[in-house]
Amino acid sequence: MAIEQIHNYYERLVLDEVIRRVRGDEHVTADMVADMACVALNRLPARYVRHDVDLIFYLTEEERRQSDMALDAAIELAIRLVYERNREEEAVPEPTAEETVNAEAGTGSA
């Protein structure tokens, strides 16, 4: 069925490029890669096609260049934002079991 062929042109491009850029960084998790891809995709226009060649065929050279620049900028920003968020989360120490119990009970630690 033709409806199954419809997809966002940028999805595969973004995911492949994010993976290429962070490959080798042992601190990057699969969840971080997914977050990076989502942030980048949300900064790009949706371009739904049946076949990737459909979009490429109809773009002018200038539109293709602008699309490539937007793709690069969105991925760069997404990677930076996810790295920054991850560093901030790592900087906040996990609460101890006693602190968690006290917080749930509404009391401070003595």
User: What is the structure's pLDDT at 32?
Assistant: 96
Give the mean model confidence (pLDDT) for residues 75-92.
90
Give the mean model confidence (pLDDT) for residues 32-46.
97
pLDDT band at 55 (very low <50, low <70, confident <90, very high): confident
Report the share of the chain in percent with pLDDT over 90: 60
Residue 91 has pLDDT above 90, yes or no: no
| 9's tokens | 């042109």
